[in-house]
Copies of this chain bind each other. A is one copy, B any other.
Amino acid sequence: MPTKKIDINRWLDKLKRIEEKVERLALLSQLSQILNSTLDHKEIQRRAMEAATRLMKAEVGSLLLVDEEKHQLYFEVALGDREEDIKTISLNFGEGIAGCVAQHGKPLIVNSPGKDPRFFKGVDERTEFETRNIICVPVRVKEKIIGVLEAINKQGKGKFDKEDLSLLNSLADQVAIALDNSRLYQELEEMFFQTAESLADAIEKRDPYTGGHTQRVTLYSQAIAKRLQLKPLEKKWLKIASVLHDIGKIGIEDHILRKPEPLSPEEFDIIKRHSDMGAEIIEHIRQLRESIPGVKYHHEQLDGKGYPDGLKGEEIPILAKIVAVADTYDAMTTDRPYRKAMEKEAAIEELKRCSGTKFDKGVVEAFIQAYRRGEI
């Protein structure tokens, strides 16, 4: 009889462990869905660290990414109150547990870090955190190690074991895929912006006095947007509108665009058509429609004296209000065929003077804040 009883207990124990495994695998599947359902790099990193913490039943989790040039790992994210501290720390390859994993590509479990010569005390010292045990696996994209995923301090009095390792390895594979998809997406997005910028630059070059104008307007617009708390998508449309705001000048003839003397009223009427023409070009691109208002109306004024439609006040879309201020400031502070550039402070005064009549007050304020902070 006693032997039978022991058998049953062993079975029960085995059953319990395996049921727990089912739960953890189901959790892994759920976490991998969460990981893959965004293409935002930062967000994937945050979710990876949370996933490692939950899946490992640990106190904290972190994702360290490889900086190939510096041969270092840096803490991109980590959970807990001390997040800001941890973010600033980087490890050399081979330094600390994470550094060893990144160098050799082999996962590690260290249940007594104090006794392990590889353990790097720097992080604990700077964060007043006590590492009791640590599990760490490489994150690989096509055989290349792009980072390491780790969890620290198993909850309760437990230690990390082989099953943890197998689960964390699977999670790391999912993290690698999600990060790689995000990288591909961001590279494509970058390619889009760079191409649009290069073409805008090339178009600008027909007008020898406006070199770099597009890039500066884009920079200024983004600095304004940061302070106006635009939504991420609005920021994206604003960036596109800024890059393409003068694209309609492609249709203006050389002899007008390049005229060194001041323009006649008739010539100025032709120049004025560039905002409408720019909007027309963009209208053909379904995915860019949201950015059209910023291009079409960037010469409108609050008092209705702008062009092309003489819109007033709140009729003017926010994207256009922002591009208008960025565009005007850059026009004032660069040389033109018929006049020298204005001093920056004088241009700021001019923006202030026209705030509420030509320009939106909030936009001008945001611009000046960014200027005072040296962002412009």
Point out residues on A near B: beta carbons under 8 Å: 4, 7-8, 11-12, 14-15, 18-19, 21-22, 25-26, 28-29, 32-33, 36-37, 39, 170, 173-174, 177-178, 180-181, 184-185, 187-192, 194-196, 198-199, 201-203, 205-206, 247, 250-251, 253-255, 281-282, 284-288
Give the interface SS of chain A, mostly helix, strand, loop or mixed. helix
A229 to B: closest C-beta gap in Å: 24
A50 to B: closest C-beta gap in Å: 17
Docked-complex contact B251 and A205, CB < 8 angstroms: yes
Docked-complex contact A188 and B185, CB < 8 angstroms: yes
Bound-state CA distance A181–B310 (Å) is 41
One complex includes copies of this chain to the number of 2
Give me the 10 closest cross-chain CB pairs, A-B, nearest first.
Answer: A25-B25, A191-B287, A254-B254, A194-B285, A192-B192, A202-B250, A199-B199, A36-B177, A37-B177, A202-B281
Bound-state CA distance A35–B18 (Å) is 27
Docked-complex contact B32 and A198, CB < 8 angstroms: no
Interface centre among A180, A191, A253 (most CB of B within 10 A): A191
Can you pick out 14 interface pairs between chain A and chain B where the beta carbons lie within 8 Å of each other? A4-B4, A18-B22, A25-B25, A28-B29, A29-B32, A36-B181, A39-B181, A188-B287, A194-B288, A195-B285, A196-B199, A198-B284, A202-B250, A254-B255
Docked-complex contact B18 and A191, CB < 8 angstroms: no
Instruction: Kindly list chain B residues whose C-beta atoms are within 8 Å of the C-beta of A203.
Output: 203, 250
Contact of A15 among B18, B170, B255 (CB under 8 A): B18
